[in-house]
A and B are shown apart, each in its own frame.
Chain A
Amino acid sequence: MSRQASGLMAWVIQRATAVYLALFLSYLLIQLAFNAPVDHAALVAWVSHPVVALGLVLFVPLLLAHAWVGIRDVLLDYVHVLGLRIGLLTLFAFVFIASGLWAFKAIITAGLQG
């Protein structure tokens, strides 16, 4: 991340992703609270619905970008030992990327089943 990108861009990314996340998570929350899939078939049908699938495919990277800027802000504020800060930033980056790929795999598999 360039110096230019690390201040203003991170701030803009945080706000832009927030708008999508607010809308999609509201939908997810309502869906899961009141109309949760009752079995595997229902879950696959829901996830592989084109609109939901598209929403999820967009949701995963935007959520991870938002979470990344957020945890980076937290670590920049509180963790002042450089090695520890870089170590934690790397750890979170790896965990986030792995989580994202794992979620993508699940979405694609569901799409193939549905």
Chain B
Amino acid sequence: MKISVYRYNPDTDTKPRMQDYEVKTFQGMMLRDALLEVKKQDESFSFRHSCGEGVCGSDGVNVNGRNVLACITPITELKEPIQVRPFPGRPVIRDLVVDMTQFYEQYRAVKPYLVRKDPLPEQEILQSPEERDKLDGLYECILCGCCSTACPSFWWNPEKFHGPAALLQSWRFLADSRDQATEERLDALDGPYKLFRCHSIMNCVEVCPKGLNPTRAIGKIKDLMLDKGV
């Protein structure tokens, strides 16, 4: 099987290029296995990966124009020639390794932790099963970045628009019965950029390897804003 990989070495290359490799396939082979095979043939090739089972979120790449986690993408699902490129819109450090700093900055900006104003109790803060259910479909995010780097609004304004991943987490804490910073969180999201660059393009929903739905979460944030503000 032929696999074409995006190559860029900052020390020697002025421009990125595509390089072809011939890789033997096997039953149950994932894209990550193919990249590891490339790495075996050519030690200079770099890509991030760790757990190999779609949990750590390290090996997000753009294959044939679509953002995926390489470790849970079967080779048989991909049309040949397979072309593997780094995440769109992110500065390339080397080969498939991109700089995700901006993505993490946007995550940090939504204060992804519980904020309590009441004095903390001695025991844990209890939640009813119904309250806990509201976090389903939100807490599962592994911050791989497939969604935000597939989002055109994030391509054009990565320093101003939070992007789908961070906004999903924003809703995750707004929806949490234990959090007490609803007003502050909503105030921080107003203005034309942070939340409202989302135009429901839904590329995030198309690519999320965990099947999560940032568009729905963003809609719920808007509903809550309307509820509190109008």
Contacts and interface: CB of A to CB of B under 8 A. Distances in A.
Direct contact of A and B (CB under 8 A): yes
A110 to B, nearest CB: 37
Given A3-B190, A7-B195, A73-B199, A12 B156 contact: no
A78 B191 contact: no
- The prevalent SS among residues of B at the interface is loop
A8 interface: yes
A27 B190 CA distance: 36
A72 B197 CA distance: 11
Interface string A52-64: 0000000000000
B121 interface: no
Given A7-B195, A12-B230, A77 B156 contact: yes
Interface string B163-200: 00000000000000000000000000111111111010
- The prevalent SS among residues of A at the interface is helix
B201 to A, nearest CB: 11
A47 interface: no
Contact of A7 (B153, B157, B191, B199): B191
B225 interface: yes
Contacts of B157: 76-77
A76 B230 contact: no
Given A77-B153, A77-B156, A78-B156, A7 B190 contact: yes
Interface of B: 152-153, 156-157, 189-197, 199, 222, 225-226, 229-230
8 contacts: A3-B190, A6-B190, A7-B192, A8-B190, A8-B229, A72-B192, A73-B199, A77-B157
